[in-house]
Chains A and B, each alone.
Chain A
């Protein structure tokens, strides 16, 4: 009897000890799905700097552009349904036009890509430079800017504190507070958009006198991307999930990416 009790005691202790630290490991590759990744930002007034075409890699490997780049894509860009611009591979997954082209506001650009028989398509409109009609500081916390809107565009505004040299900044907004909802925009109507909060460090009069605001216009497809763009972040702590899927505008099977037109205003000092 004592022996039986001894064995029961040992069994209980063993199970108890094994249960103290609960840990099972999931191999991330077991859920890997390869997707094609296509990105291009068409900025009004600037030279077209190419379309990046790569593929996703499993989480278990170190990201290496040589493993991710796709070199055998064929494709072209069509401007306003008329002009065709063939794309040629350069390096690191980037495909460029054979001759430099300048992106123009008001134009519509379509992207046609084919990789191993799989076809991908996207279209975008390049907005006109937004004009800030009025801007003012609210308290010392953030800025509001008034813009005359167009229904095919969405807008965001950002604060900047210029530095001593051109195109340098002492401080700048890290993101937009909001992007206007395309469903609420009517062409010709004014919209008021706010910046993200100015950090405490930049709220003294020294900085507030220097602070300027700039408006950005995007093709309205940018709105959905903006709403969901943080979904694809890495997990940074144990009890947080990284999110869900981001909303993209490239059409095709197993593809993610964004092909979007944008423009920006000049800097305006608030009233």
Chain B
């Protein structure tokens, strides 16, 4: 019965989307008059996604509602079809730009009007919208657009602003611990988050602890985070979407941004190559390990460094075609200090190359095609040098290579209906090498490597329909085929919003998603040990269903936005390592995995002060995340480490003077779960070789809660001009009150003497990574 219902719902949504797209009216009457074009930055020529275009009749009276409107897409393209023969007053707006106005008249002989718009940047005068919510951008529920402008005012560890740190400050996005990377969104693990950079998947888009993402904020054009119930154009992941667009580079002149800090330096170069092409290069190097070597030479905290590079060449072929070649490279290395009791060396590397071809096919159809190559490698070496027979060695290398071809088509069917159609083909090649002992010889042994090659095909159909001025519906579906299991499934997607009045709206969404790539977590190791594993005959694709409902309201003359959103997510076919899998080089690695399910639900509260001298936001999330695996925690339900009952973030930015600004962030999260022994006993293990040993009796999985996580960060930025250069100097204080946020307890043994006998007892020390760290630095913009 359930499957029949599911089938009926899926078919209904698809039929609805198809009917919307191909409604007879739209097919019978092609748009007679269409105005369309690109919206760009006047100085740099950069496309401006999310800019709004409004058409007024008769006069430019902004107090009256416009007759028509549109928002530019990710490529800065907009289109307004089905216009009447008459004169229109046009207003174009985008954050940080002066409003643009124009008048044009539609005449008989001009059916398709190409109207490119160039907006002039203006200095933001404290009236900025910091985080654009759904209504501002026309996005659906759970969708947030983050402006790169706000990033410049937030404090950071390295002195350099970063996208991931600002995303972590949003409700629903959880901090796992300082030694983890990736975004934990609404009870999902980082692998369940689809990260697209210029449309290309990046498997691990963050550096350790999320204090930096793998793309330099100087290179960002636009960022959209969809926390759940995402539309049909996105797929391949269970939970959420982070869609990042990088800048093309300035058409105006060569520019340079250089910054140097105590632990981090970065460089961005951009400019025109020829009259119709531009370049952009951005690179960054972090050398925290060098600083650790000086200030904490004998310490046991992990050593860490990274670098990343982004580049983009863009060629503007005529007025209708844009071709771009993008690359991304990043490398992270976390390793043990000399005096560490355990040797470890963990590295991850991303490399992507993408060729993208965007084209206006006709005034009402926009096409975007791309070819990409993606390479991601994660290597973990944990070499337990203790003499214990219960060695905790761990060695894994997983390397993923993808070749992806994509074609998306956006078309304007009617004045209120935008259709999207797309097709993806991905060829995956995975190489895995795993062992539970480590010797350097293993790294060069090909015998233990496993190689898997498979492919997936996806096609989607989506409609964004403004049914009435108050009701908007985004419906569609995605078809998936995965060759290894001959898996074919339809994923229905639906979200709707109803504006109750000018300031209050309610929204809801529903999405089904499948994921063929699993990030297998090793729960008993506190260090990052990612092992990506594809679905195969014996490994089923993960599956999720999400339901979202929310209300948002503007008040105090739209200076404030308050929203409440509830969500419920069900997940099936999740995989983790068993606690006690016995590794054998002759057994499949999958024999070490256990299959389970999960659910996550919660409520998010978000208050955003969008204008005024002091701006910022406060978010609170009350959430529950649960997992259940046959071979974990005796088959009982448990809360994973990243489950956080309460999560609060407060962000304030204050522009004291035009050239002096202050940014403050405070984060609080309930303590991370941890499994601790609660007693000791002696027993003869039953089975082979029963030898009487002391053993520990443990509490249930993650039952012990580490102390709550909280910290305050502060940033002061002072700007001044020096000749032609704009100099920004900053003071960053990370973890102002030096909170020791533990990410784990490590055991050591204390020698005790009692009644003449010497014995050892375990002692648990909390370890944390980032103490109070002040840093100063500067950026030069030429």
Enumerate chain A interface residues (CB-CB to B < 8 A).
12, 15-16, 18-26, 28, 31-35, 37, 39, 41, 52, 54-63, 65, 68, 138-139, 141-142, 156, 158, 172-178, 196-197, 216, 222, 224-247, 256-258, 260, 262
Asked if B677 and A242 make an inter-chain contact with CB atoms under 8 angstroms apart, the answer reads yes
- With A238-B340, A242-B677 known to touch, is A227 a contact of B580 (CB < 8 Å)? yes
Known: A57-B681, A241-B524, A245-B700. A228 touches B694 (CB 8 A): no
- Tell me whether A232 and B695 are in contact (CB under 8 A): yes
Q: Type the 1/0 row for B676-712, where 1 means its CB is closer than 8 Å to any CB of A.
A: 1111111111111110001111111100100000000
**Can you list 12 pairs linking A and B with CB atoms under 8 Å apart?**
A18-B771, A18-B772, A28-B764, A41-B690, A63-B682, A197-B584, A229-B580, A234-B677, A236-B386, A240-B525, A243-B698, A244-B698
Is A233 a contact partner of B761 (Cβ separation < 8 A)?
no
Contact with A along B525-544 (1 / 0, CB 8 A): 11100000000000000000
Tell me the bound Cα distance from A93 to B163 in angstroms: 61
Partner of A59, one of B342, B677, B690, B772: B677
Interface presence of B344 (CB below 8 A): yes
Residues of A within 8 A of B527 (CB): 239
A58 vs chain B, min Cβ distance (A):
7
Question: A239-B382, A239-B744 given as contacts; is B689 within 8 A of A23 (CB)?
Answer: no
Counting CB contacts under 8 A, is B98 at the interface? no
B686 touches A225 (CB 8 A): yes
Query: Quick check: B696 and A233 within 8 Å, CB to CB?
Result: yes
Residue of B295, B580, B676 near A31 (CB, 8 A) is B676
Output the nearest chain B residue to A238 by Cβ-Cβ distance: B746
Contact of A256 among B526, B676, B697 (CB under 8 A): B697
Query: Once the chains bind, are B679 and A243 in contact (CB under 8 Å)?
Result: no
**Cβ of A141: which chain B residues have Cβ within 8 Å of it?**
585-586
Q: When chains A and B are docked, how far (Å) is the Cα of A229 from the Cα of B698?
A: 12
Contact yes or no, A234 B391, CB < 8 A: no
- Which of A56, A142, A196 has the most chain B CB atoms inside 10 A of its CB? A56
Please, how many angstroms separate the alpha-carbon atoms of A61 and B750 in the complex? 11
| A contact residues around B390 at 8 Å (CB) | 233-234, 236
Contact A28 B765 (CB under 8 A): no
Which one of B687, B699, B766 has the highest number of Cβ atoms from chain A below 10 Å of its Cβ? B687
Question: Is B678 in contact with A31, judged by CB distance below 8 angstroms?
Answer: yes
CA distance A35 to B340 in the complex (A): 35
The answer to whether B344 touches A243 (Cβ under 8 A) is: no
Evaluate contact between B697 and A262: CB separation under 8 angstroms. no
Interface positions, chain B 747-779, Cβ under 8 Å from A, are 747-748, 752, 754, 757, 759, 761-769, 771-774
Whether B392 contacts A240 by the Cβ 8 Å rule is yes
- CB pair A59 B762 closer than 8 Å: yes
**Are A238's CB and B582's CB within 8 A?**
no
**Chain B's nearest CB lies how many Å from the CB of A63?**
5
Give chain B nearest CB distance to A220 CB in angstroms. Answer: 14
Bits for B616-642, please: 1 = Cβ < 8 Å to A, else 0. Answer: 000000000000000111100000000
> 1/0 per position for B574-586, CB-CB distance to A under 8 A?
0000111010111
Instruction: Determine whether the beta carbon of B579 is less than 8 Å from that of A174.
Output: no
Q: Give A49's nearest chain B residue, CB to CB.
A: B684
In the bound complex, how far is the Cα of B748 from the Cα of A225, in angstroms?
28
CB of A196, distance to nearest CB on chain B (Å): 7
Contact A59 B679 (CB under 8 A): yes
In the complex the two chains form, what is the Cα distance from A243 to B527 in whole Å?
Answer: 15
Question: Is B688 within 8 A of A65, CB to CB?
Answer: no
Binary CB contact string for chain B from 510 to 533 against chain A (1 if under 8 A, 0 otherwise) = 000000000000011111000000
Max count, chain B CB within 10 A of own CB: residue among A240, A243, A258: A240
Q: Report if B740 contacts A (CB, 8 A).
A: yes
A22 touches B301 (CB 8 A): yes
- A105→B586 CA distance, assembly (Å): 35
Q: Give the number of chain B interface residues (Cβ < 8 Å).
A: 85
Q: Which of A26, A62, A156, A225 contacts B766 (CB 8 A)?
A: A26
Asked if A28 and B761 sit within 8 Å, CB to CB, the answer is yes
On whether the beta carbons of A62 and B698 are closer than 8 Å, the reply is no
A261, chain B: closest CB distance, angstroms: 10
| CB of B674 closer than 8 Å to a CB of A | yes
- Residue B658 CB within 8 A of the other chain: no
Inter-subunit contact B688/A231 (CB<8 Å): no
Q: Does B742 contact A (CB under 8 A)?
A: yes
Complex partner residue of A16 from B301, B685, B687, B774, CB under 8 angstroms: B774
Do A258 and B764 form a contact, CB below 8 Å, given A34-B679, A232-B697? no
The 10 closest A-B pairs by CB, nearest first: A19-B771, A56-B679, A238-B746, A62-B759, A235-B747, A230-B580, A22-B768, A26-B764, A19-B772, A24-B766
Q: Contacts A33-B678, A156-B687, A226-B687: A240 and B526 contacting too (C-beta < 8 A)?
A: yes
CB neighbours of A19 from chain B (8 A): 735, 738, 740, 771-773
CB contacts (< 8 Å) of A20 on chain B: these are 295-296, 299, 771
CB-defined contacts of A240 to chain B, threshold 8 Å: 384, 392, 524-526
Q: B384-411 vs A: 1/0 string, CB under 8 Å?
A: 1010101110000000000000000000
Cβ < 8 Å to A, chain B residues 165-207: none
- Give 1 or 0 for each of B645-669: 1 = CB within 8 Å of chain A CB: 0000000000000000000000000
Besides the contacts A227-B580, A231-B579, what 11 more A-B pairs have beta carbons closer than 8 Å? A19-B771, A23-B767, A25-B764, A41-B690, A59-B679, A175-B582, A232-B697, A234-B695, A241-B525, A256-B697, A258-B686
Contact assessment for A241 and B679 in the assembled complex, using a CB-CB cutoff below 8 Å: no
Interface string of B222-248 (1 = CB under 8 A from A): 000000000000000000000000000
Residues of B within 8 Å of A177, CB to CB, are 582, 584, 587
Bound-state CA distance A228–B525 (Å) is 17
In the complex, the answer to whether B735 meets A242 with C-beta atoms within 8 Å is no
**Chain B residue with Cβ nearest A243:** B579
CB of B341 within 8 Å of the partner chain: yes
Contacts of B689 in A (CB 8 A): 172, 174-175
Residues of A within 8 A of B601 (CB): none
Most chain B Cβ neighbours within 10 Å, of A56, A241, A256: A241
Across the interface, A28 reaches (CB within 8 A) one of B344, B386, B762, namely B762
- Flag if A244 contacts B632 (CB, 8 Å): yes
Chain B contacts for A225, CB-based, 8 A = 686
Residues of A within 8 A of B367 (CB): none
Contacts of A260 in B (CB 8 A): 686
| Contact residue among B632, B700, B765 (Cβ-Cβ distance under 8 Å from A25) | B765
Kindly provide the distance from the CB of A10 to the nearest chain B CB, expressed in whole angstroms. Answer: 13
User: Is B423 an interface position by the 8 A CB rule?
Assistant: no
Q: Are A52 and B697 in contact, CB atoms less than 8 angstroms apart?
A: no
Would you call A237 and B384 a contact (CB within 8 A)? yes
Residue in chain A with minimal CB distance to B391: A236
CB <8 Å contact, A41 and B677: no
Q: How far is the CA of A138 from the CA of B584 in the complex (A)?
A: 13
Please name all residues of chain A whose beta carbon is closer than 8 Å to the beta carbon of B678 when the two chains form the complex.
31-33, 56
B688 and A173 contacting across the interface, CB-CB below 8 Å:
yes
Q: Tell me, yes or no, whether B745 is within 8 Å of chain A by CB.
A: yes
Contact: A244 with B684, CB < 8 Å? no
**Chain B nearest CB: distance from A249 CB in Å?**
11
CB distance from A16 to the nearest CB of B (A): 6
Q: Which residue of A lies closest to B771 (CB)?
A: A19
Is B698 touching A239 in the complex (CB atoms < 8 A)? Answer: no
Distance between Cα atoms of A232 and B701 in the complex (Å): 12
Task: Report chain B residues within 8 Å CB of A216.
Answer: 687-688
Let me know if B675 is at the binding interface, CB within 8 A: yes
Does B764 contact A21, Cβ atoms closer than 8 Å? Answer: no
- Contact, CB under 8 Å: B695 / A241: no
Q: CA–CA, A247 to B517, complex, Å? A: 31
CA distance A225 to B762 in the complex (A): 25
CA distance A52 to B686 in the complex (A): 13
Q: Quick one: closest A residue to B301, CB to CB?
A: A22
